[in-house]
Structure 1
Amino acid sequence: MKLSLSHFKRYKEIAFLLWKYGRSDLVKNMEFDEPYDPEKEGKKIGDVTPDQLADDLEAMGPTYIKIGQVLAGRPDLLPAPYLKALERLQDKITPFPYEEVEKIVANELGVRISKAFSRFDVTPLAAASLGQVHAAALRDGREVVVKIQRPGIRAQIAEDFEVLGEIASFLDNHTAAGKRYRFATVLEEFRIAIQQELNYENEAQNLITVGKNLKEFALITVPQPVIDYSTRSVLTMDYVQGQKITSISPLARIDIDGALMVEELFKAYLKQVLVDGIFHADPHPGNVFLTGDNRIALLDLGMVGHTGPGMQEHLLKLLIAVSEGKGEEAAETVIRMSEKLPTFDAPEFRRKISQLVAIRRDQGLEQIKVGQSLLDVSTNARDNGLFVPSELTLLGKTLLQLDEVGRILDPEFDPNASIRRNVTDMMTRRMKKDLTQGSAFSSLLELKDFTTQLPGRLNRIMDAVTNSEVEVKVKAVDAKLMLDGMQKIANRITTGLMLASLIIGAALMMRIETRFHLFGYPGIAIVCFLLAAAGAFWLLINIFLHDQSNKDTK
């Protein structure tokens, strides 16, 4: 792998990170424009703690902080201590100076902060990898929060993804894990998601869309944006007064109906995924607030997932199968929705999924995690030669985070039971959505065409049958290859019959005395025997060589 000099420093940092965490085998395969050996530069590998991983990712910049945030919600990829350490990357990032905030707001909105807002807090409420949030108030007194993007972050992330893209392609081409997991494809999906998240106009539209879709849920609220004060790098939206779900005290839990709230939250997410086709994909506890009027507020809709009608059907079937403990049905659904690799082992996959679902079904309420089950299904699919859609992994991560929120509000919450309670309603909603006015008119037009053209089509078919004009064409797959194989079989059978005829004829001619003798026997009979022996030997050699060549090509 030849690495460009312009990105040499970044490559060194990534290479050292791989080396530090036990993947020196990957570093050795990289050819730098300059010699690179971490040990010669004074780097020491020691007892690496989970906190050091979080520190390393934070030091490498926003792109790697975002990777750490994603990894924090993936227990199928990292052990629990690392997940805990990476959680701090979700909302405990060093903010950038207020002077930069003033410049960005002025450039984006076209006016100074003092002109646009009656109040703007200098100290941010929170700082994240891509931006930070400040409390403010509009001129009409409306309380808002302003999300400002970090300066120069787009160029930095673009450069980081260029470096990561080259490394991902190298891993895909030179490692077994790369061929199985397709790092380049996963990285490209992640890059697109980051680009969407960097455009705050998209997030503003997500807030409007999801807020409208969840309007029927009285216990759930989504802050709405102030469009006139929002641009690609600045997002102004309603200020949600409340506290994080994780900071709720035991005394405060007494005053809320946690069971009702988590049931409505889970139902709202099922509706987003299985009916609306757009869902809040990052509901970690830092993005879920309990408001002062005892409602759940969903924050940070920069990352959303999308599901099309076909994928919704598959996900609905999979959720039902997992919740009811039907491993065989779950396995078949995953097979249908995934891409099969040459190494796919169907029997082993079905066995593992059936075993996994059975184990989950027999666990107690405190251990049931439907999100974890979906992630485990995805992991087993990849290990057995299936490339699962990214929607399944994203849904598993989302439901796993939702499980954590649900346990805080109601420790006795059973997500599997919730799926079974709400699945009928979700199916009804999907049917109603499919039966829109437009789809009904389309179906009526197709029915009209069918009924008006049916008599003429039947007449043409009957005339063709009467006049013996009906032809049946059969298109065989690999017909030439099949015919060649049949011809080879026929040739071998014919050769065998001819050799058998020579042997039988020679045996009969042994009793006829002739002047010509060979080895003391009638010569013609011995010649026939020799010809039959030579032919048999040639046929055996030919069969052996052909079978051996077939083995070598497999």
Structure 2
Amino acid sequence: MLLDVLGAAQDLGRVQDLTSLLIRYGFGDLARRLGLGRALENAGRLLHWAEPEELARLEPPQRIRRLLEDMGPSFVKLGQILATRIDLLPQDYIDEFCKLQDRAPPLPFDTLKAVLEQDLGAPLEELFAEVDPTPVGAASLSQVHLARLKTGARVVLKIRRPGVRKVVEADLRLLKRLAEIAESRIDEVRRYRPIEIAAQFSRTMRRELDLAAECRNAERVAENFADDPTIVVPKVYWRWTSERLNVQQFIDGIPGRDLASVEASGLDRKLLARRGGAAVLKMVFEDGFFHADPHQGNVFFLPGNRVAFIDFGMVGRLSEARRRELVDLLQGFVERNPGRAVDILLQWAKHDVVDEEALTTDVDALIDSVHSVPLKSLNLPRLINDLVALLREHNLALPSDLALLTKAFISLEGMGRQLDPDFDMMATAEPFLKDLILARYSPKTLARRSRQGLGDMIEVMSGLPADLRKLVKQAQSSNLKLRLDVEKLGEVGDKIERGAARLALALVTSALILGSSIAMTASGGRLPVDVSYFAMFGFLGAMLGGVWIILSIWRGR
């Protein structure tokens, strides 16, 4: 019973709401296969909704997008996460999920004021010269208001909605368990890796619930650009920032989507595109910590052709090892070495079962399509899309950090093209990629890797005497156990068992032939029944057994 699986009776009301929506949007069969029908029946609630005619005319991607919107804030966020998984979903689903907007009806300011004063520890009038009660933005998790400090500085107050953590945690519990059920029961869903997506989604949601985490992300990016006056990140006012409230500098600039104002202000659109692109690429390839959603709503343009980034709720992280893998993959393409590229893809795929020969053939064909193209002329977004399509064809998935990277690249390319139709992201990325390739073989990097390797070797060698002493003691006390896990050993056992069965049947067949021959010879004796009948049945059984043995050996090759 699903309630036993869920293990949380307090979530039953949420289960009922979600199941109602699944049925309304025509996914009643999915609800039944997940066991939700029985949960509702045990709760005493039966649903008999007819599918509205309007919904019946929707294509599946549109239907799922509408369903996620009606399911509430957590599932809108889930759709936005799915929009980053271009390695798992077809493009029509990605395009539809990109339309999901995290909007919610604004709460009255009086409702939020109590939360504000509780977190700040003082009445608002003592801390701020003014607070605008009209929100400038209202999302599912938080609401944004403008304010002015006593010093005259304009700030943005981002306030978490009261009670939202409880709702989100309930949704995360349900989603985790439903993902486990779906992956174990529904074959056509398993290839989309619901457990992996649910885990990625849970990490993202919990980070976004902590509004102070966004400020920590912003400060880390600001520190990385401390020497670049053309890139602006809002200042954080830590005195008033907490888990439920963050206070940041107000950026008074032109929104990225307002291109008419950019043109009217005399800013250089080509220069803005290059600076914005170079900033994101620096975050990715040099810092390993990047804004994962650099779309036009999160970018402002300031006098002096400066670029400001806001909203660091969704960030990506790339370890040094992952950046080396990206360079290896790119070198595999540039050097026309499909084996090198396939090794990286298989390393990312982890435990997936892959036809390596077919994958190598397809990668080789993809390399042919870009071979002899100068690095500066390579269309990186198109290459990423082609590579991701190839991964989908072979049922491979990218690690979650690389899925965010592909989203950042696609958003960056879109923003750059809006500003400058001739924007070439590969030309902007070329210096960073060359620096990465050179850095791999620089004396400093080789020395550091050698020190790490030497340190690991010394640690292993220093622990070797103790390990050998432990091994000898176990052998002396007869406690030493050897376990061999031979791949495909079960298959070998099955073959031995089938061979033994054939041998046994062959012996029975031989016995039938001999016995029937003896019975046929003795058929002239005086017996109640003519023995020749038994001999005939014996020969017939021997013939059938012989035919079975021949067919079995032929099929087993």
TM-score (norm: length of structure 1): 0.72
**What is the alpha-carbon distance in structure 1 between the residues aligned to residue 411 and residue 348 of structure 2?**
24
The answer to which of 351-360 and 289-298 deviates more is 351-360
The 1:44–1:404 alpha-carbon spacing in structure 2 relative to 1, beyond 3 Å, is closer
2:524 maps to which residue? Answer: none
Asked whether 1:207 is paired with 2:218, we answer yes
Deviation at 1:416, TM superposition (A): 2.5
Deviation at 1:395, TM superposition (A): 0.7
User: What's the CA shift string for 1:376-426, capped at 9, x where partnerless?
Assistant: 534532442434311121111111111111111211112223333431134
1:97 maps to which residue? Answer: 108
The 1:327–1:104 alpha-carbon spacing in structure 2 relative to 1, beyond 3 Å, is farther
Amino acid corresponding to residue 18 of structure 2 in structure 1: I
**What is the alpha-carbon distance in structure 1 between the residues aligned to residue 142 and residue 193 of structure 2?**
30
- Quick check: 1:138–1:144 contact (8 Å CA) kept in 2? yes
- Once the two structures are superposed, the pairs formed by residues 322-337 of structure 1 within 5 Å of their partners are 330-337=341-348
Deviation at 1:280, TM superposition (A): 1.1
1:419 maps to which residue? Answer: 429
> For 2:163, which of 128, 152, 162 is the aligned residue?
152
> For 1:87, which of 99, 105, 115 is the aligned residue?
99
Q: Secondary structure of the equivalent of 1:249?
A: helix
Deviation at 1:138, TM superposition (A): 1.3
Asked whether 1:175 is paired with 2:186, we answer yes
The answer to which of 158-167 and 381-390 deviates more is 381-390
> For 2:260, which of 233, 249, 258 is the aligned residue?
249
Deviation at 1:233, TM superposition (A): 0.8
Q: Secondary structure of the equivalent of 2:125?
A: helix
Q: Secondary structure of the equivalent of 2:243?
A: coil
The 1:153–1:484 alpha-carbon spacing in structure 2 relative to 1, beyond 3 Å, is closer
Q: Secondary structure of the equivalent of 1:137?
A: strand
Amino acid corresponding to residue 126 of structure 2 in structure 1: K
> For 1:386, which of 381, 390, 396 is the aligned residue?
396
1:28 maps to which residue? Answer: 32
1:472 maps to which residue? Answer: none
Amino acid corresponding to residue 347 of structure 1 in structure 2: E
Amino acid corresponding to residue 204 of structure 1 in structure 2: C
Q: Secondary structure of the equivalent of 1:229?
A: coil
The answer to which of 222-231 and 287-296 deviates more is 287-296
Q: Secondary structure of the equivalent of 2:78?
A: helix
1:189 maps to which residue? Answer: 200
> For 1:397, which of 400, 404, 407 is the aligned residue?
407
User: What's the CA shift string for 1:36-94, capped at 9, x where partnerless?
Assistant: 4443698984223788766654443221222243345566736569846853614x432
**What is the alpha-carbon distance in structure 1 between the residues aligned to residue 449 and residue 93 of structure 2?**
51
2:241 maps to which residue? Answer: 230
2:355 maps to which residue? Answer: 345
1:2 maps to which residue? Answer: 2
Deviation at 1:318, TM superposition (A): 3.3
Q: Secondary structure of the equivalent of 2:107?
A: coil
Asked whether 1:66 is paired with 2:77, we answer yes
> For 1:14, which of 8, 12, 18 is the aligned residue?
18
- Quick check: 1:274–1:315 contact (8 Å CA) kept in 2? no
Asked whether 1:299 is paired with 2:310, we answer yes
2:122 maps to which residue? Answer: 111
The 1:26–1:477 alpha-carbon spacing in structure 2 relative to 1, beyond 3 Å, is closer
Q: Secondary structure of the equivalent of 1:227?
A: coil
Deviation at 1:144, TM superposition (A): 1.2
Larger RCO, structures 1/2 (Cα 8 Å, 6+ apart) = 2
Deviation at 1:542, TM superposition (A): 7.4
Q: Secondary structure of the equivalent of 1:394?
A: helix
The 1:345–1:420 alpha-carbon spacing in structure 2 relative to 1, beyond 3 Å, is same
Q: Secondary structure of the equivalent of 2:204?
A: helix
- Quick check: 2:79–2:97 contact (8 Å CA) kept in 1? no
The 1:188–1:247 alpha-carbon spacing in structure 2 relative to 1, beyond 3 Å, is same
Q: Secondary structure of the equivalent of 1:93?
A: coil
Q: Secondary structure of the equivalent of 1:114?
A: helix
- Quick check: 2:342–2:363 contact (8 Å CA) kept in 1? yes
1:281 maps to which residue? Answer: 292
**What is the alpha-carbon distance in structure 2 between the residues aligned to residue 23 and residue 376 of structure 1?**
32
The CA RMSD over aligned residues, in Å, is 4.7
Asked whether 1:267 is paired with 2:278, we answer yes
**What is the alpha-carbon distance in structure 2 between the residues aligned to residue 477 and residue 58 of structure 1?**
49
- Quick check: 1:242–1:290 contact (8 Å CA) kept in 2? yes
Asked whether 1:128 is paired with 2:139, we answer yes
**What is the alpha-carbon distance in structure 1 between the residues aligned to residue 64 and residue 418 of structure 2?**
27
The answer to which of 79-88 and 326-335 deviates more is 79-88
- Quick check: 1:339–1:387 contact (8 Å CA) kept in 2? no
Asked whether 1:141 is paired with 2:120, we answer no
**What is the alpha-carbon distance in structure 1 between the residues aligned to residue 396 and residue 197 of structure 2?**
14
The 1:417–1:205 alpha-carbon spacing in structure 2 relative to 1, beyond 3 Å, is same
Amino acid corresponding to residue 30 of structure 2 in structure 1: L
Amino acid corresponding to residue 377 of structure 1 in structure 2: L
**What is the alpha-carbon distance in structure 1 between the residues aligned to residue 357 and residue 386 of structure 2?**
17
Q: Secondary structure of the equivalent of 1:118?
A: strand
Q: Secondary structure of the equivalent of 2:101?
A: helix
The answer to which of 236-245 and 92-101 deviates more is 92-101
Deviation at 1:546, TM superposition (A): 7.1
Residue identity over aligned pairs, in percent, reads 26
Q: Secondary structure of the equivalent of 1:31?
A: helix
The 1:275–1:24 alpha-carbon spacing in structure 2 relative to 1, beyond 3 Å, is same
**What is the alpha-carbon distance in structure 2 between the residues aligned to residue 356 and residue 221 of structure 1?**
39
**What is the alpha-carbon distance in structure 2 between the residues aligned to residue 211 and residue 202 of structure 1?**
14
* Ranges in structure 1 where 5+ consecutive residues have no aligned partner: 450-474, 492-536
Amino acid corresponding to residue 417 of structure 1 in structure 2: A
Deviation at 1:243, TM superposition (A): 2.5
The 1:31–1:445 alpha-carbon spacing in structure 2 relative to 1, beyond 3 Å, is closer
**What is the alpha-carbon distance in structure 2 between the residues aligned to residue 69 and residue 482 of structure 1?**
44
- Quick check: 2:184–2:190 contact (8 Å CA) kept in 1? yes
TM-score (norm: length of structure 2): 0.72
Deviation at 1:375, TM superposition (A): 5.2
Deviation at 1:192, TM superposition (A): 0.9
**What is the alpha-carbon distance in structure 2 between the residues aligned to residue 345 and residue 133 of structure 1?**
51
**What is the alpha-carbon distance in structure 2 between the residues aligned to residue 12 and residue 476 of structure 1?**
46
The 1:410–1:383 alpha-carbon spacing in structure 2 relative to 1, beyond 3 Å, is same
